[in-house]
Amino acid sequence: MAETLRQPVSSIALTPANKPKTETSKISVARLLAIAGVCLTLLPIVPGLLWVLWPAFNMDVWHALVTDGQFARALISTLSSAIGSTLLSLMAASLIAIWLYPGKGWALAQRQLPIFLAFPHIAFAIGIAFLIAPSGWLARGLANLLEWSSPPQWVSIRDPYAISLTITMAIKETWFLLWIMATLLGEQAISRQITLANSLGYSRRQVWISALLPQLLPRMGWPLVAVLAYSLSVVDMAVILGPSTPPTLAVISWQWLTDPDAMTQAKGSAAALCLMILLGLLIVLARALWWWIKRLYRDPTGIRKPGRIFKTRAVSGIPVFIPGWLALAILVLWSVAGGWFFPNLWPNSLSLKSWNSADFGPMLTALWIGMATVMISLPLTLAWLEWGSRKHHGWLYAPLILPSLPIAAAQYHVLLHLNLDSTAIGVIWSHLTWTFPYMVLVLVGPYYNFDNRYLCTAQALGHSHLNACLRIKWPMLMKPILAAMSVGFAVSVAQYLPTLFSGGGRFATVTTEAVALSAGSNRRVLAVQSILQTALPLCAFMLAILLTAWYSRNRQGLK
């Protein structure tokens, strides 16, 4: 995929000269450092993973898996929810971008994005469940209109076809893809193309379809794989919204892997391996599909279709986020609700009782773990992107495209042997496995598209490579770097399995707390922890935006 990154598909691309610098003279210390950092974070997982997956290399285990009564149905709902949510989110994000970019609506949408990127999957799923469950807000509204006295017997969450799970994941991932698009569109090279193409007489729609999307989509390859991998292996959301008889494959795998029985565990390993194989097949399939689409639309005719003047108003940036705002609203309402029974639309009383008795310890724990993780990931990320190998880049994303459960189990095994389990170092290291690749993922596009002539000039003027990066390159990339840091922080905060495994359960963060509480029944306390879980990454994203704005206040080109 790295090759396609540097292959301008469109004829009007204005990609700057972007050859990787060749430094044949010396294998610099920095380069070794970049590789050492990666080795330290990712390599130890390999033996751990072997240990976790070893039981799956046995035909009896596969036979037991395939003949298990739950397997076939679980496979179908896993595939349908993963493929469905990935395709839906890609379509939705593309349509929204076509509709809104460039314009005031896009700007408004971008201003709201951080809120919903920061909205953790679990909290969003809980909010959606509060909305659409048979006793949720929607049903309460209808009940008041139609004078129902008890909730309807509709099947709106945990439906057997995983429709509610698919749609909820699609909405959540649409925001993620929109944000990736926004980062890509923010680059000078691309935004200038619209002006250029418009001046050549192409309509907005034509510009998008024949110039922008063909450039954006290949570069969104890895983010899309991450979305697909996430939806294939998601456990927490699937438990809240997914089917239960049987659950999705990832949930079954999780249940089996934590079972004390050896054969059941082996089946869990096999199911985890199965998820990886599925992902591989789907990626191959998607690549083939893309190749075919590219062939189909190879020759631009050059015919200009003027199209009508298309002006969106700022308000059109709002509907994209309606589900998000509603989910957020009902979480806030539940966090301050007193008694609230069906079919009342509003709580009988409002009180701050749940907030006064809330435990803020988990928030602080998540905060320092997240900050430490990002502070270690950042130099690793920059070193890797600057001095690491561009060719051997794909395997860095392995943690993002593998189900997190076997990796977390693998990490735990490694830590156990090093006598580092249940320590802060162990937990932070286990988070690095995800924050580091995510930060690389966010930064890689802008980084490789950086016009390296700046760096050349700086070096020609006598700066060392490192100094040129420190003084010129990294400050110019401040916006994506800050974005990457906030994503890294959000990723760290959201980690459930690694925190639990590597921390021996001793590090209670907002996420472990929310999941532990979701086993209890108090919607108020659950709502409070969900809001706290949302607040942390949200503040990080806000900070990134404010810092970017402040930093670029007198530099037009950085905005």
Asked if 344 and 135 touch (Cβ cutoff 8 Å), the reply is: no
- Which is nearer to another protein, 431 or 524 (by Cβ)? 524
CB neighbour burial string for 455-477, b if at least 16 within 10 angstroms, e if fewer: beebbeeebebeebbeebbeebb
Residues 349-368 that bind another protein (CB under 8 A): 357
Coil, strand, or helix at residue 473? helix
Instruction: Give min distance, CB of 39 to another protein, in A.
Output: 23
Instruction: Give min distance, CB of 434 to another protein, in A.
Output: 21
If one asks whether residue 236 binds another protein (CB under 8 A), the answer comes out as no
> How far apart, in Å, do the first and last CA atoms of the chain sit?
28
- Which is nearer to another protein, 217 or 240 (by Cβ)? 240
Interacting residue with another protein among 149, 199, 356, 556 (CB under 8 A)? 149
Look-up of token digits 């191959």: 284
Instruction: Give min distance, CB of 338 to another protein, in A.
Output: 6
What single letter denotes the amino acid at residue 120? P
Residues 157-186 that bind another protein (CB under 8 A): 158, 160
Q: Between helices 163-185 and 322-335, what is the axis angle to 10°?
A: 120
- Which is nearer to another protein, 120 or 243 (by Cβ)? 243
If one asks whether residue 150 binds another protein (CB under 8 A), the answer comes out as yes
Interacting residue with another protein among 30, 62, 64, 151 (CB under 8 A)? 151
236: tokens are: 């927490």
Taken as a whole, the chain contains a residue count of 559
Coil, strand, or helix at residue 261? coil
How far is Cα 259 from Cα 239, in angstroms, rounded to an integer? 17
In 207-317, the DSSP E strands lie at: none
In 26-151, the DSSP E strands lie at: none
Residues 408-437 that bind another protein (CB under 8 A): 412-413, 416-417, 421-422
> Which region among 96-104, 290-298, 334-342, 471-479 touches another protein (by CB under 8 A)?
334-342
How far is Cα 469 from Cα 462, in angstroms, rounded to an integer? 13
CB neighbour burial string for 108-126, b if at least 16 within 10 angstroms, e if fewer: bbbebbbbbbbbbbbbbbb
- Which is nearer to another protein, 415 or 476 (by Cβ)? 415
HSE-up of residue 548 (Cα within 13 Å, Cβ side): 20
- Which is nearer to another protein, 212 or 240 (by Cβ)? 240
Residues in the interface with another protein (CB under 8 A) total 49
Instruction: Give min distance, CB of 515 to another protein, in A.
Output: 7
Interacting residue with another protein among 302, 341, 356, 461 (CB under 8 A)? 341
- Which is nearer to another protein, 282 or 508 (by Cβ)? 508
Q: How many CB atoms neighbour CB 43 within 10 A?
A: 11
If one asks whether residue 195 binds another protein (CB under 8 A), the answer comes out as no
Interacting residue with another protein among 302, 462, 520, 557 (CB under 8 A)? 520
Interacting residue with another protein among 44, 103, 120, 243 (CB under 8 A)? 243
If one asks whether residue 244 binds another protein (CB under 8 A), the answer comes out as yes
- Which is nearer to another protein, 231 or 512 (by Cβ)? 512
Look-up of token digits 């807000």: 137
Instruction: Give min distance, CB of 75 to another protein, in A.
Output: 11
Vertex 217, ends 178 and 7: CA angle to 5°?
Answer: 135
**Most distant CA pair in the chain: distance in Å?**
81
Instruction: Choose among 388, 551, 534, 383: nearest CA to 483.
Output: 551
- Which is nearer to another protein, 97 or 327 (by Cβ)? 327
If one asks whether residue 336 binds another protein (CB under 8 A), the answer comes out as no
Residues 119-138 that bind another protein (CB under 8 A): 134-135
How far is Cα 391 from Cα 447, in angstroms, rounded to an integer? 15
How far is Cα 182 from Cα 521, in angstroms, rounded to an integer? 39
Residues 5-64 that bind another protein (CB under 8 A): none
Residues 521-550 that bind another protein (CB under 8 A): 521-523, 525
If one asks whether residue 141 binds another protein (CB under 8 A), the answer comes out as no
- Which is nearer to another protein, 139 or 485 (by Cβ)? 139
In 207-345, the DSSP E strands lie at: none
> Which residues form the interface with another protein (CB under 8 A)?
69-70, 72-74, 134-135, 149-151, 153, 155, 158, 160, 239, 243-246, 258-260, 338-342, 357, 412-413, 416-417, 421-422, 504-506, 508, 512-513, 515-517, 519-523, 525
